[in-house]
Amino acid sequence: MDEALESQHCIGGITGGFLTIDSSEEFEALLKKSPDDCFLVKAFADFLAGRESFVQAAQHYRKASDLFARGGAVLQAVAAKVMEWHAAGPSRRECRDLYTAIREVRAETRLNDFFCRMAYTELLAVLANLEPLRLPPGFVIEDSGDVEGFLYFIVTGTVSEASAADEEGECRREFSANSSEMNYFGAVYPLDGQKPVPSVIETASSAELLRISRPQLVGLCEKYPKIEILLMRLARAHRLLMENKASYRERRSVRYQLQAQVDMKIFKNQSDKSQLILKGFIQDISLGGACVTLGEKYLTGSPAEIIGKSVKVLINVPKVKIGLNLFGTIAWCREILRGGKSIVIAGIQFRDMTHSDLTFLKKHCYAGEDAQDLISYLWESLPKS
pLDDT at 226: 93
Compute the distance between CA of residue 212 and CA of residue 132 in angstroms, rounded to an integer. 9
- Asked whether 201 and 193 are in contact (CB, 8 A), the reply is no
pLDDT at 169: 41
pLDDT at 150: 92
Quick check: helix, strand or coil at residue 21?
coil
Q: Within 10 A of 95 (CB to CB), how many other CB atoms are there?
A: 20
pLDDT at 187: 82
267, amino acid identity: F
Q: Within 10 A of 167 (CB to CB), how many other CB atoms are there?
A: 8
Structural domain boundaries in the chain:
3-106, 131-243, 261-366
30, amino acid identity: L
- Strand runs labelled E in the chain: 131-135, 140-142, 150-156, 158-162, 173-176, 184-185, 200-203, 207-213, 261-266, 276-285, 289-296, 310-317, 322-338, 341-350
Compute the distance between CA of residue 66 and CA of residue 174 in angstroms, rounded to an integer. 29
**CB neighbour list of residue 216: distance below 8 Å, 6 or more residues apart:** 129
pLDDT at 301: 64
pLDDT at 78: 95
Compute the distance between CA of residue 40 and CA of residue 221 in angstroms, rounded to an integer. 36
- Asked whether 367 and 258 are in contact (CB, 8 A), the reply is yes
1, amino acid identity: M
In DSSP terms, 338 is beta-bridged to: 341
- Asked whether 251 and 288 are in contact (CB, 8 A), the reply is yes
DSSP for 75-100, written as a single string = HHHHHHHHHHHHHH---HHHHHHHHH
pLDDT at 134: 94
Sign (positive or negative) of CA dihedral 348, 378, 37, 279: negative
Compute the distance between CA of residue 182 and CA of residue 122 in angstroms, rounded to an integer. 24
Q: Is the bond preceding 137 in cis, omega lying within 30 degrees of 0?
A: no
The answer to pTM > 0.85 is no
306, amino acid identity: I
Largest pairwise CA distance in the chain: 63
Cα 135-292-338 angle, rounded to 5 deg: 75
240, amino acid identity: L
Compute the distance between CA of residue 160 and CA of residue 157 in angstroms, rounded to an integer. 10
In DSSP terms, 173 is beta-bridged to: 161
Query: Which one-letter DSSP state was computed for residue 274?
Result: P
In DSSP terms, 209 is beta-bridged to: 133, 154
- Asked whether 155 and 176 are in contact (CB, 8 A), the reply is no
pLDDT at 11: 63
Evaluate whether 131-243 and 261-366 have a shared fold.
Answer: no
In DSSP terms, 317 is beta-bridged to: 322
Per residue of the chain (385 residues), give pLDDT as tens: 455 555 565 666 666 665 677 778 888 888 888 888 888 899 999 999 988 889 999 999 999 999 999 888 899 999 999 999 999 877 666 688 899 888 888 656 888 889 999 999 999 999 999 999 999 988 999 888 788 889 999 998 889 887 644 444 445 677 887 776 678 888 888 888 777 777 888 998 889 999 999 999 999 999 999 999 999 888 888 777 766 543 334 444 567 777 788 888 887 655 545 678 888 888 888 878 888 888 655 555 667 777 888 888 988 887 666 778 888 888 888 777 666 677 788 888 888 788 778 888 887 776 544 444 443 343 344 444 4
Compute the distance between CA of residue 342 and CA of residue 300 in angstroms, rounded to an integer. 12
pLDDT at 128: 92
pLDDT at 147: 83
Compute the distance between CA of residue 338 and CA of residue 335 in angstroms, rounded to an integer. 10
Task: Answer yes or no: CATH 2.60.120.10 is held by domain 131-243.
Answer: yes
pLDDT in tens, 103-125: 888 656 888 889 999 999 999 99
Task: Answer yes or no: CATH 2.60.40 is held by domain 261-366.
Answer: no
